[in-house]
Structure 1
Amino acid sequence: MKNIILIGFMGVGKGSVAREIVKLSDLVALDTDDIIESMENRTIKKIFAQEGEEYFRALERKVALWLQKEVKGTLISTGGGFFKVPNLSKIGTVVYLSAPFETIYNRILAHPNAEKKLRKRPLFQDIEKARKLYDERSVLYKKAADIVIDVSDKDIPEVAKEILKKAK
């Protein structure tokens, strides 16, 4: 069975959708950022601060190779930049969760743990830089995806059901 890979901008809801899919199916979920934090025994934020983005991207490529070789029939949620790994399409069916930047940002701000959610995302520290990054990536996400799902006006269970229907 093929893996399902969730890609999209940070804060779009990949982790929340993954948890819902696990509830609705027999799939097991992995999160690439969680794997990297476990490998390094430190947070993504600390990895960025101490080693820089290039080091982090190298860790993503290492995880991507492992996923391609060792992981099957699994739901994989990814960090916002993971879609750039060269073997993405070999890992599984790529599902892009799409929403306008303002929608993503407003959802994060409306979350009860908004401050923590913003702190956890090093690339979201400067809102204008984040917006520029979103503009650059949104076209690339679409290009990398097998399936595009606009999550703007949908709740998490609705998105999860749509993914399960389209990706199997």
Structure 2
Amino acid sequence: MKKSNNLVLIGFMGVGKGTVGRELAKALNKFAIDGDDMIESFANKKIKAIFQEDGEEVFREIEKNLAKFLSSSVSNAIISTGGGFYKVKGLEKIGTIIYLKSSFEAILTRINASPNASKKLTKRPLLQDLEKAKTLHKEREKGYESKADITVNVEGKTPKQIVKEIKKQLKIAKFK
């Protein structure tokens, strides 16, 4: 199946996929879609509540259904995904996969520098135990890299700088 013209942002929770996605959508005149927002809308509850009330397994099942929807019904969009979305079957059918790469420490620094840091930490169930989260980050890194068409190191960069790097790499990727 031919890849869609979507750009799919993957990476660890808190790396800035939503922020970069909105900035990239503006720069490329595309719609920005947030996968976690779509899941919350579908379930009619926050992700934290899905994890607490229904469990991670139910959340991952909703993610799987979201992936099917995105691959069959969405085009010309920038799609920000949750941290574990890279594992869904058929990810490559949704669009060009861009991995926003960062160290765990830089992600925490980024979140803590945000004006609503405590809210950002609270809404991420898997960030509640920082030692477990750090281990999860290490475990996921290879998975993100293996799925990515393009990898962009985002540490110490503004969303505008990251978008510039993505646009540059997209032009390079088209000629490979």
TM over 0.5: yes
Corresponding residue SS for 1:80: coil
Q: Give secondary structure in 2 for the equivalent of 1:94.
A: strand
Q: Which residue is equivalent to 1:134? A: 137
Matched, 1:95 2:98: yes
Report Cα offsets for 1:64-115 as digits up to 9, x if no partner: 0010001111110000000000100011000000011100011111211110
- The unaligned stretches of length 5 or more in structure 2 are 172-176
Checking the alignment, whether the CA contact within 8 Å between 2:21 and 2:78 is kept in structure 1 is yes
Q: Percent of counterpart pairs with the same letter?
A: 52
CA distance in 1 between counterparts of 2:58 and 2:170 reads: 32
DSSP-derived class of the 1:29 partner: strand
Query: Which residue number in structure 1 is paired with residue 26 of structure 2?
Result: 23
Give SS of 2:14's match: coil
Q: Which residue of 1 aligns with 2:81?
A: 78
1:14-163 aligned at under 5 Å gives the runs 14-163=17-166
SS class of match (2:157): coil
TM-score scaled by length of structure 1: 0.97
Distance 2:24 2:14 in 1: 17
CA deviation after TM superposition for structure 1 residue 167, in Å: 2.9
**Structure 1 unaligned residues grouped into runs of 5+:** none
Q: TM-score, normalised by structure 2?
A: 0.92
Q: Aligned partner of 2:169: which letter?
A: K
Count of aligned pairs between the two proteins: 168
For 1:24, give the aligned amino acid: A
Pairwise CA RMSD of aligned residues?
1.0
